[in-house]
Chains A and B, each alone.
Chain A
Amino acid sequence: MSTLLPDFAEMARALRAGKVSSRELTGDCLARIKRHDSTLNSFISVYPEQALAAADAADKAIASGSAGPLTGIPMAHKDIFCAEGTRTTVGSKMLDNFVAPYDSRVVSGLAAAGMVSVGKTNMDEFAMGSSNETSYFGPVKNPWDLQRSPGGSSGGSAAAVAAGLVPAATGTDTGGSIRQPAALTGLTGLKPTYGRVSRYGMVAFASSLDQAGTLTRSAADAALMLGAMAGFDERDSTCANVPVPDYSATLNDSLQGKTIGVPKEFFDDGLEAGCAQAVQDAIKQYQELGAVVKEVSLPNLAMSVPVYYIVAPAECSSNLSRFDGVRFGYRTESTGDLADMYTRTRSEAFGAEVKRRIMTGAYVLSAGYYDAYYLQAQKVRQLISDDLSHCFAEVDVIMGPTTPTPAFKLGEKMNDPVQMYLNDMYTIAANLAGLPAISIPCGFSQNLPVGLQLIGTQFAEGLLLNCAHQYQQATDWHLRTPVISGGAA
């Protein structure tokens, strides 16, 4: 595929030199989606006409010299971001017919930077899942092995980028939903600091944990996209009023003398041997790049999954109470009284995992149980956050695996929610503490990609991207691409 260039910088150079147009780049993405997505199921909606119109506008901007580094580059949005006038389903029957009346900040920010959205990607229903199997629109397949899951909840975004259908996609991460699919599909997945990117127009799951981010091939691409997504927005009351640095400007800083903390709890019995080897090799590579490695400890790490499965369902049960069949979304056809209408609407339109989370949340918040569950979870959340703060008093970055295993088979964990939840055992702590984290490809185990996770202090996205970029200058894992069976990529 002639226009499939390795990164945004090369695309921007080719666009500016007139070697390729945004219309051609976008048209090729649409053609690849058409060829491969009946196999992968990574998209819920594709908008060829709107995409080509946006590409033409980008080509005009490039011709007039007003283009920025992202102008004319195609991408896709996770179907959790409202885009005015288009369907935004969140992977649920509940919002199957919902047409967003306005743009989310993420959508408007990337459109203003000139990126061309080709459509909306598949996801676990309401972002609740780690395998993309809870989607109302069916599971997504991992392009590295079609029998396996691409992870979730941003599994459609991950599969689409890994398969080369689009150069980049947005995602959201509440407990690992960007980093885990990035790890399982060999991509760079960035979850920024809580509050770094506005949640305006992003359908809520767990409001104290949700954060928007990117799935790209390289850290350099993520740096450019984050710059267009981040920043203060008064429409999100928890959006941080902190200046946005030029993330690209610090990518080439030296790692000489930087200290990496490796928590010993990350290398417990649950970590698959091939993943452990790839992660340890990556940490050695960082030593060669001049970094100093130090063992640290996160004594309460094992409690992060239990804390998360109180806090996230509690917030979800509250957030999803708005779906009552009245103002928007699905409404039952059955006739009855008002309470009946609410109950039937919700029972008919939410899937099994969403119902389990709502019910877990309703239970832990119910009379007599609040102190034992929710309050205790908030206290242990503080302990986990304190553990991380203690580490960061000694080190610049924490590193370890993103996931305990490489991609697992579709159907393997669907009947065991707790096994599914334990996929996120290394990623949840960053959400609980509101810290930025990134997963980058660092090798293979069982011929499947492995992710290295880097966690930083609040608003240290620049340092994480710098560390990721330096590793990607020294290695080529992020350039490896799968061959999708049933058609040449």
Chain B
Amino acid sequence: MPLSKQDIDHIALLARLEVAPQEKGDYVEKLSQIIELVEQLRAVDTTGVVPMAHPLDMVQRLRPDSVTETDQRDYLQQNARDTENGLYTVPKVIE
């Protein structure tokens, strides 16, 4: 199923990506090729097959609900572009 330019706009919005107008044709073409590739799966009979979410047969480990991490806020915030009083700053959300 070939995708349309509108599909690309919708997918880009979902993915928080911006596709420049001059790139849109390229995305339509290449994503359509990829979707065509994966659509081969529709022909496979999977009646009664249990979906495989994960390669290992394991259960989620649990641990006691206790504090194990030390406070490294200042250290970890060194990688942020902008912080103030230990908080991450972003463009104004509420006017």
Q: Residues on A close to B: CB < 8 A?
A: 97-99, 101, 194-195, 208-209, 234, 237-238, 240, 300, 302-303, 305-307, 309-310, 317, 321, 324-329, 331, 335-344, 346-347, 350, 355-356, 358-364, 366, 372-373, 375-383, 385, 416-418, 421, 432-435, 458
Residues of A within 8 A of B3 (CB): 363
A364 to B91, Cβ gap below 8 A?
A: no
A382 to B14, Cβ gap below 8 A?
A: no
Residues of B within 8 A of A194 (CB): 55-56
State A377–B53 Cα separation when bound (angstroms). Answer: 10
B residues 40-95 with Cβ under 8 Å of A?
40-42, 44, 46, 49-56, 58, 60-61, 63, 72, 75-82, 88, 90-93
Apart from A234-B63, A331-B81, what are 6 other A-B pairs with CB-CB below 8 Å?
A237-B60, A321-B16, A359-B31, A382-B50, A458-B55, A458-B56
In the complex, the chain B residue whose C-beta lies closest to that of A377 is B41
User: Of B12, B49, B56, B75, which is within 8 A of A359 by CB?
Assistant: B12
Give the one of B41, B61, B82 with max A CB within 10 A: B41
B16 to A338, Cβ gap below 8 A?
A: no
B11 to A359, Cβ gap below 8 A?
A: yes
Q: Residues on B close to A: CB < 8 A?
A: 3, 7-8, 10-12, 14-19, 27, 30-31, 33-42, 44, 46, 49-56, 58, 60-61, 63, 72, 75-82, 88, 90-93
Residues of A within 8 A of B91 (CB): 335-338, 340-341
State A309–B27 Cα separation when bound (angstroms). Answer: 16
Residues of A within 8 A of B79 (CB): 97-99, 101, 327-329
Can you list the 4 inter-chain pairs with the closest CB atoms, starting with the nearest? A434-B55, A378-B51, A328-B79, A379-B46
Q: A418 and B54 in contact (CB under 8 A), knowing A343-B18, A359-B15? A: no
Residues of B within 8 A of A340 (CB): 91
Distance in Å: Cβ of A349 to nearest Cβ of chain B: 11
User: Of B27, B30, B38, B44, which is within 8 A of A300 by CB?
Assistant: B44
In the complex, the chain A residue whose C-beta lies closest to that of B12 is A359
In the complex, the chain B residue whose C-beta lies closest to that of A211 is B55
A101 to B72, Cβ gap below 8 A?
A: yes
Residues of B within 8 A of A325 (CB): 81
Residues of B within 8 A of A326 (CB): 80, 88, 90
Residues of B within 8 A of A372 (CB): 42
State A346–B16 Cα separation when bound (angstroms). Answer: 7
B53 to A378, Cβ gap below 8 A?
A: yes
In the complex, the chain B residue whose C-beta lies closest to that of A328 is B79
Consensus secondary structure, chain A interface: helix
User: Of B11, B50, B81, which is within 8 A of A366 by CB?
Assistant: B11
Q: A418 and B51 in contact (CB under 8 A), knowing A240-B58, A341-B91? A: no
Residues of A within 8 A of B34 (CB): 309, 356, 360, 417-418, 421
Distance in Å: Cβ of B40 to nearest Cβ of chain A: 5
A350 to B17, Cβ gap below 8 A?
A: yes
A237 to B61, Cβ gap below 8 A?
A: yes
B37 to A379, Cβ gap below 8 A?
A: no
Give the one of B31, B34, B91 with max A CB within 10 A: B34
Residues of A within 8 A of B80 (CB): 326-328
Q: A364 and B76 in contact (CB under 8 A), knowing A382-B52, A417-B33, A432-B55? A: no
A101 to B90, Cβ gap below 8 A?
A: no
Residues of B within 8 A of A358 (CB): 15, 17
Distance in Å: Cβ of B49 to nearest Cβ of chain A: 4
Distance in Å: Cβ of B67 to nearest Cβ of chain A: 16
Residues of B within 8 A of A324 (CB): 16
State A364–B15 Cα separation when bound (angstroms). Answer: 12
B52 to A378, Cβ gap below 8 A?
A: yes
State A293–B14 Cα separation when bound (angstroms). Answer: 50
B52 to A385, Cβ gap below 8 A?
A: yes
User: Of A97, A209, A418, which is within 8 A of B37 by CB?
Assistant: A418
Q: A381 and B30 in contact (CB under 8 A), knowing A342-B16, A343-B17? A: no
Residues of A within 8 A of B61 (CB): 234, 237
Distance in Å: Cβ of B34 to nearest Cβ of chain A: 5
Residues of B within 8 A of A307 (CB): 41
Residues of A within 8 A of B15 (CB): 317, 346, 355, 358-359, 361-362
Residues of A within 8 A of B51 (CB): 375, 378-379, 381-382
In the complex, the chain A residue whose C-beta lies closest to that of B50 is A382
